[in-house]
Amino acid sequence: MKKGILHTYEKFLPLTEKTPLLSLCEGDTPLIPLGNIGRELGVELYGKFEGLNPTGSFKDRGMVLAVAKAAEEGAKAVVCASTGNTSASAAAYGALAGIPCFTLLPAGKVASGKLAQAVIHGARVVAVRGNFDEALEMARTASREKGRLAIVNSVNPYRLFGQRSAAWEICDELGSPPDWLTLPVGNAGNISAYCAGFEFYREIGRISRLPRLIGVQAEGAAPMVKGAPVDNPETVATAIRIGRPVNASLARRAVELTNGQFLSVSDEEILEAQGILASKNGIFAEPASCAPLAGLYRLKKMDKLPAVIRIVMVLTGNGLKDPDAAKGRGEALVEIDGTTEALLEVLGL
């Protein structure tokens, strides 16, 4: 039975007897073999479908711990800035713990499903006329100035601690780490958490090597690739529309340590990859989550994708969160009269 991150990894996490063992049965997400696409790319490909977490993204793994620790430490409220998924997760776990949640979102730049989640879970949603980086700075300052207002962005070390669990699940399921692990990079917390998770497993002897970490960004929001902040980040993948990643140095270390790399892909490539994943392999992931697949196609085109290696792609968020990104794509809708004849005509078989 699914038990959630805090129960499952009690021994590996910084819990005390006072930490409430919150759970929405997060984690334990499927590692889906992506045979149709893998064959095309000439690699053994898997998707770790984090979109099947309770709020539809990987954020739940770290949020459950961050909110449990906030409760343990007597926080009166939690606060976060978010491109959408963090706010949905903070709002849900805040609701579970009975702690009020304030979320700061870049006005007009958050996918509709994510906004709906924050609202229905009862968060106080503040739309900031500015981008994510500015909203995060505001949230950090507010939490410093107001006692007992816990910030639950990935500057909170408990977030990254909980997110390590995904690396552990992958190793446990495959019996060894993959050759490559590729994931989208925004605020650069998740890639750092994966690295720490793999390093920990190596330390305790569960694995003997680290996978190469391949971090993929959108071209209009690629500070890790450029090696410098981006002032006005822009991309269709709003989840990773971030110009000043707070975990940049940890992420750089992760890539250096694992002999990995950062690369960027265009919005067109991201949307194309989203379509391929959905139409060729039956998985609907949000645009940001498809940046890694776009990256693999690009490497393949450049003849830089080794054959036969085992690759895990982290599908960080569910496509249902951002229905607008899918609208108007694929086959056009056909409207008919309510008669069998009209249907048969459309079927044309």
Binding residues for ligand F0G, per CB under 6 A? 57, 59, 82-86, 154, 184-190, 239-240, 286, 288-289, 316-317
Query: Which residue number, 19 or 135, has a Cβ lying nearer to ligand F0G?
Result: 135
Q: How far is the CB of 332 from ligand F0G (least distance, A)?
A: 28
Q: Is there a contact between 122 and 91 (Cβ–Cβ < 8 Å)? A: yes
Q: How far is the CB of 51 from ligand F0G (least distance, A)?
A: 8
Q: Residue 308, exposed/middle/buried by CB under 10 A (0-12, 13-18, 19+)?
A: exposed
Query: Which residue number, 91 or 288, has a Cβ lying nearer to ligand F0G?
Result: 288
How far is residue 192's CA from residue 213's CA, in Å, rounded to a whole number? Answer: 10
Q: How far is the CB of 188 from ligand F0G (least distance, A)?
A: 5
Q: Is there a contact between 150 and 75 (Cβ–Cβ < 8 Å)? A: yes
Q: How far is the CB of 235 from ligand F0G (least distance, A)?
A: 12
Q: Is the alpha carbon torsion for 177, 1, 94, 10 positive or negative?
A: negative
Query: Which residue number, 54 or 186, has a Cβ lying nearer to ligand F0G?
Result: 186
Query: Which residue number, 211 or 223, has a Cβ lying nearer to ligand F0G?
Result: 223
| Burial call 35-46: b when 16+ CB within 10 Å, e when fewer | eebbeebebbbb
Q: How far is the CB of 199 from ligand F0G (least distance, A)?
A: 17
Query: Which residue number, 274 or 316, has a Cβ lying nearer to ligand F0G?
Result: 316
Query: Which residue number, 7 or 109, has a Cβ lying nearer to ligand F0G?
Result: 109
Q: Is there a contact between 78 and 101 (Cβ–Cβ < 8 Å)? A: yes
How far is residue 138's CA from residue 132's CA, in Å, rounded to a whole number? Answer: 10
Closest CA to 161 of 2, 318, 4, 5: 5
* 108 dihedral zone (left: phi>0; alpha: psi -120 to 50; beta): left
Closest CA to 275 of 330, 328, 337, 217: 330
How far is residue 16's CA from residue 104's CA, in Å, rounded to a whole number? Answer: 30
Q: How far is the CB of 240 from ligand F0G (least distance, A)?
A: 5
Query: Which residue number, 186 or 197, has a Cβ lying nearer to ligand F0G?
Result: 186
Q: How far is the CB of 42 from ligand F0G (least distance, A)?
A: 26
* In the complex, residue closest to ligand F0G by CB: 317
